[in-house]
Amino acid sequence: MLSTFDMGIDLGTANILVYNKNKGITLNEPSVVAIDTRTNNVVAVGLDAKEMIGKTPEKIVAIRPLKDGVIADFDVTTEMLKHVMRKATKKIGFAVRKPNVIVCIPSGSTSVERRAIHDAVKNAGAKKISLIEEPVAAAIGAGLPVDEPVANVVVDIGGGNTEVAIISFGGVVACHSIKIGGDRLDDDIIQFVRKEYNLLIGERTAEKIKMEIGYALIDHEELFLDVRGRDLVSGLPKTINLSSYEIRNALKEALQHILEAIRATLEDCPAELSGDIVDRGVILTGGGSLMNGMEEWLSKEIFVPVQLAPNPLESVAIGAGKSLAYVSKILAEVK
């Protein structure tokens, strides 16, 4: 069993979450680190660092050390994890030097990527490390009976990637992972606004547009949003009015890729489990699943019930923390 100071970590591209069985989610911060390039010292981590994106002098850069769900910068990731684990143990109420940690990994990650995550967590001060695949953790966190012989379909739309998995008897029966998530949607919005309006906007503005007027459903009540940016022709600040129909069109290609991944996974499902999917449907987790109209759109496209997990943003972290109950079946090996 987990002791009071042990933690489950969802090491996401966009956010890093820490779960403890007694305290629940003890930390939820953006996976961003601000670094002074002259000294290589960490200036800020998490929310403070995210506030700096696009607003810092040249000597300070705000970076995301994780890309597509895996480590892009090992040293910076280790520093971020040290900060996160130190902060989390304080909130839990134990000044523990070396906690036992369970970390989530993308299901399509290679043995090298898994080893990198394992080593980064160990260097950050963990005593014992176990790895669990994200879709399995998401299913546990969403309250699905993963250890029973029924089909549990999970679609986890994260910041860097989307993972679709069918889980039965504690294992992954079929799975597809694509490197398209919330970050790709933000980038598509930036490129659309640049191309159509000659206006340059930042990541945070694109994220705001996605959250407020981004729609997965084609038929919806049109919404509008005033957006400020820099005019690429005059170089001066400029305000434009964007429509949710325009944004839906800009996101069309990325959403289609997510749909194709879901269809491909359902096609790989064994015949005996297909009946369960019709009855039980599909569960959505991850920040991307919160996009307006996502449930209705997917339900219309794949003809099975689609519903949101109780805590979509926290499902993976909660599942990681609770996964020791299934330890013999589902914890991934580090090879």
Binding residues: 13-15, 207-210, 287-290
d(CA 62, CA 218) in angstroms, rounded, equals 35
DSSP three-state, residue 75 = helix
On whether the CB atoms of residues 217 and 249 are closer than 8 A, the answer is no
d(CA 317, CA 10) in angstroms, rounded, equals 5
d(CA 104, CA 106) in angstroms, rounded, equals 7
DSSP three-state, residue 162 = strand
Segment (H or E) for 153: strand 152-157
Q: Which residue has the tokens 């260097």?
A: 123
d(CA 297, CA 291) in angstroms, rounded, equals 11
Segment (H or E) for 211: helix 203-213
Binding positions for ATP are 13-15, 207-210, 287-290
Amino acid found at 272: E
Backbone torsion region of residue 205, taken as left when φ is above 0, otherwise alpha when ψ lies between -120 and 50, otherwise beta? alpha
Strand partners, 242: 225
